[in-house]
Amino acid sequence: MRYQTQKVAYAYFLAAMALFAIQVMGGLLAGWIYVSPNTLSEVLPFNVIRMIHTNALIVWLLLGFFGAAYYLVPEESEREIFSVKLAYLQLGILVIGTLGAVVSYLVGIHGGREFLEQPLWVKFGILVGAVIFLVNISLTFLTGRKTAITNILMMGLWLLCLLWVFAFINPDNLSLDKMYWWMVVHLWVEATWELVMAAILGFLMLKLTGVDREVVEKWLYVIVATALFSGILGTGHHFYWIGTPGYWQWIGSIFSTFEVVPFFAMMSFAFVMVWKGRRNHPNKAALLWSLGSSTVAFFGAGVWGFLHTLHGVNFYTHGTQITAAHGHLSFYGAYVALNLAMFTYAMPALRGRHPYNQALNMASFWLMTGGMAFMTFTLTFAGTIQTHMQRIVGDYYMDVQDQLGLFYLMRFGSGVAVVLGAILFIYSMLAVRREAVKPGLVAVPGE
């Protein structure tokens, strides 16, 4: 840690990990309800649990991104953060808003647009937090050295904050509502968040492998170009069946097919940088998470996305467990694992330590990644059967679901592995043993 104000990231990462714990617990409970549907059905219905599961995920990923920006921008810009107070104020607003949303959901106060269920005051809180963030980070960025990593990161963060405006636009016409809803949902995870991901991955590669900055930055621009060229019109793959014109079937199919490219490029980029790099960085766990993130993102977002993105296929698979399989693996690979890579890289520096608990951390990687992969396979098989029975044969929804119990049981098992992995990860971050050799006790020659 070269700049004192980078310390702000520590608080962001702690808050993010607390919400991460809530998110996976909510997921496990929801997974159990699939197995045993009467659980809590009168007290805490499935829809409330799912809101907590998805909202906690989105907020902790954003807190992770904000924290990563506060860690990374000073180092790249060679400047202290403009205002530490503003950064803590922003965190305070976001945490209060998040807790407020969770309490609201538990007492039954919420909206009904998926992922955007937050009460209006929370939405405004997020807006205020985002504006504070943009002011703070932009003033740091503008007065310092500009690199491709910060250019791309800033562009991603600015655009994702601006797109939040669509969270307030809710037309009475359902089809219009759905179309504008995707301007937040799709253009976040399949466009602007990819810029943030590429920037953070580029930063990690630069630090961990020691490859020449010029090489890293050139390829970053190529990667984000393929992300936006495919991702913007790729929005069309959500416009097949919601009342939008038929031409989206072709635009969506063609451009979203190319959405595989940036994820393949990020995976190749990460591995090539590691092969080329001569630096033997001591933080092996951060390297594992970085490579793992780009690889699982390629499979989850790239391969599993392509699996059902062509309109001829999507006509049958739309809104089945196939979508759930893709959603889980892509979020895990692209954004969860990337955030955990950043935490793993930055935490030792933030705590003034050498990398610690690396074996535990790497074990948590394999536990979580194995769990998520198994979950994806079970949901894919469940979705395949569902697609055939419901969409081809025409059996009714609940009759089909009754046939899928075994898959949901296996999914719950894989969820247990993921939760154990998450707990292990958080433990490996927080529980630091005392240094064997106390600094200061060693006699320094010449003093």
Partner 1 sequence: MSEFLTKSRARNVFYGGSLFFVVVFVALTAQSHRHIVATSTAGMPLTEEVRLGKHVWERNSCINCHTLHGEGAYFAPELGNVMTRWSVADDPEGAYQMLNGWMEAQPSGIEGRRQMPHFEITEEEMRGLAQFLRWADQTDTQNWPPNDAG
Rounded Cα distance, 355 and 285, in Å: 9
Rounded Cα distance, 213 and 222, in Å: 14
Residue of 228, 236, 162 lying closest to 197 (CA atoms): 228
Structure tokens at 372: 């998520």
Q: Helical H runs in 143-298?
A: 148-163, 174-187, 193-209, 213-234, 248-257, 260-276, 284-297
Say whether residue 158 binds partner 1 (CB under 8 A).
Answer: no
Chain centroid to Cα 398, Å, comes to: 32
Say whether residue 246 binds partner 1 (CB under 8 A).
Answer: yes
Q: Minimum distance between the CB of residue 315 and partner 1, rounded to whole angstroms? A: 6
* Residues 39-78 as x/- pattern, contact with partner 1 by CB under 8 A: --xx--xxxx-xx---------------------------
Q: Minimum distance between the CB of residue 407 and partner 1, rounded to whole angstroms? A: 12
Residue of 92, 20, 339 lying closest to 193 (CA atoms): 339
Say whether residue 29 binds partner 1 (CB under 8 A).
Answer: no
Chain centroid to Cα 360, Å, comes to: 22
Do 325 and 301 form a contact (C-beta atoms < 8 A)? no
Do 95 and 62 form a contact (C-beta atoms < 8 A)? no
Q: Which residues 304-343 are close enough to bind partner 1 by CB under 8 A?
A: 315-316, 318-321, 323-324
Is the Cβ of residue 220 or residue 340 nearer to partner 1 in the bound state?
A: 220
Do 235 and 182 form a contact (C-beta atoms < 8 A)? yes
Say whether residue 122 binds partner 1 (CB under 8 A).
Answer: no
Say whether residue 197 binds partner 1 (CB under 8 A).
Answer: no
| Residue from the set 158, 221, 258, 381 that interacts with partner 1 by CB under 8 A | 221
| Residue from the set 398, 436, 437, 441 that interacts with partner 1 by CB under 8 A | 398
Task: Give the interface segment with partner 1, choosing from 18-26, 124-132, 134-142, 248-256 (CB under 8 A).
Answer: 248-256
Do 305 and 259 form a contact (C-beta atoms < 8 A)? yes
Give the Cβ contact number of residue 85 at 10 Å. Answer: 10
Is the Cβ of residue 4 or residue 47 nearer to partner 1 in the bound state?
A: 47
Is the Cβ of residue 4 or residue 41 nearer to partner 1 in the bound state?
A: 41
Q: Minimum distance between the CB of residue 226 and partner 1, rounded to whole angstroms? A: 9
Rounded Cα distance, 317 and 309, in Å: 9
Q: Minimum distance between the CB of residue 313 and partner 1, rounded to whole angstroms? A: 12
Say whether residue 254 binds partner 1 (CB under 8 A).
Answer: no
Task: Give the interface segment with partner 1, choosing from 122-130, 171-179, 349-357, 417-425 (CB under 8 A).
Answer: 171-179
Residue 33's Cβ-count burial label (10 Å; 0-12, 13-18, 19+) is: buried
| Residue from the set 229, 258, 306, 377 that interacts with partner 1 by CB under 8 A | 229
DSSP 439: T
Residues that bind partner 1 (CB under 8 A): 33-34, 36-38, 41-42, 45-48, 50-51, 110-114, 117, 148, 151, 172-179, 214, 217-219, 221-222, 224-225, 228-229, 232-233, 235, 239-246, 248-249, 251, 315-316, 318-321, 323-324, 390-392, 394-398, 401
